Homo-oligomer: A and B are copies of this chain.
Amino acid sequence: MDRRQQKTRDAIFDAFGMLLTEKSFSKITVQEIIDAANVGRTTFYAHFPTKDDLLREMCAEIFDHVFSDAPRAENTHDFSANGRDTTTAVTHVLYHLRDSRKNILGILSSESGDLLLTFFRQYLNKSLAMRMLDGVRPADSVPMDFLVNHISGSFISMVQWWVENGLRETPEEMARYFMSVTDPILSVGNM
- Which A residues have a C-beta under 8 Å from some C-beta of B? 26, 114-115, 117-118, 139-140, 142-143, 145-147, 149-150, 152-154, 156-158, 160-161, 165, 176-177, 180-181, 184-185, 188
Distance of A136 from chain B, by nearest CB (Å): 13
Distance of A177 from chain B, by nearest CB (Å): 5
Contacts of A157 in B (CB 8 A): 149-150, 152-154, 156-157
Cβ contacts A to B, 5 pairs, < 8 Å: A142-B180, A146-B158, A146-B177, A150-B158, A157-B157
Which one, B114, B153, B158, contacts A118 given CB within 8 A? B114
**A181 engages B185 (CB within 8 Å):** yes
Assembled-state Cα–Cα distance A117/B139 (Å): 27
Highest count of chain B CB atoms <10 Å: which of A139, A146, A147, A177 = A146
Contacts of A185 in B (CB 8 A): 180-181, 184-185
Contacts of A118 in B (CB 8 A): 114
Contacts of A146 in B (CB 8 A): 158, 161, 177
Assembled-state Cα–Cα distance A146/B139 (Å): 25
Which one, B115, B147, B156, B181, contacts A147 given CB within 8 A? B181
Contacts of A117 in B (CB 8 A): 114
